[in-house]
Amino acid sequence: MTTTDDLGPEQLGTYFALTEAVSLLQHAVEQQLRAEGDLSYVQFQLLARLADAKGQLTMTELANGVVYSRSGLTHQAGLLEKAGLITRGPHPDDQRATLVTITETGLGRVAKVLPGHIQVARRLLFAPLSDEDLRNLGGIMTRVRDHMRAEPPRSAAPRKRRATAPRSLNEEP
């Protein structure tokens, strides 16, 4: 049986409130993005990061910015490229890197969904907060994010290799 001895009641309650609030907000955002732009939340994150970065980032920079698996990121980038929202190509200064560029169509899609995205955030996240609450929450979440980001970026972590089974009973794994 799992115990909660390591988290006090206040910590556990805060943890559950945070995870539920994030889930509710992400669900509402996902619905809005699908309805207004035919985008998933991750696709919007990728496009928004590219738009904010003056239109270009490497796949590694994108991977470091979003919380998503490498293979999932590659798949999502492929879908965005097929839809004409981004292009991918070799980096002119680093042949190992893939450069991702948002297209005019991609910028247009971000512009189309952004007003609704902002409305959802205002209605669900910011409406119940005072100015002081907002400052406090911003400071707290920035500290928490920075603490979590102090770990090496996921894209820099070595890939875990799957154990392979021996081919015969006499062979070592």
Write out pLDDT tens, residues 130-167.
999 999 999 999 999 899 888 866 555 555 555 555 55
**pLDDT score of 3 more than 70:** no
**pLDDT score of 74 more than 60:** yes
The pTM assigned to this predicted structure is: 0.78
Supply the pLDDT for residue 164: 53
Domain-by-domain residue ranges, the chain?
Answer: 13-133
The predicted model gives 43-55 an average pLDDT of 93
Q: 63 or 14, which is more confident?
A: 14
The answer to whether the CB of 46 falls within 8 A of the CB of 80 is yes
Instruction: Tell me if the domain spanning 13-133 has CATH number 1.10.10.10.
Output: yes
Supply the pLDDT for residue 125: 96
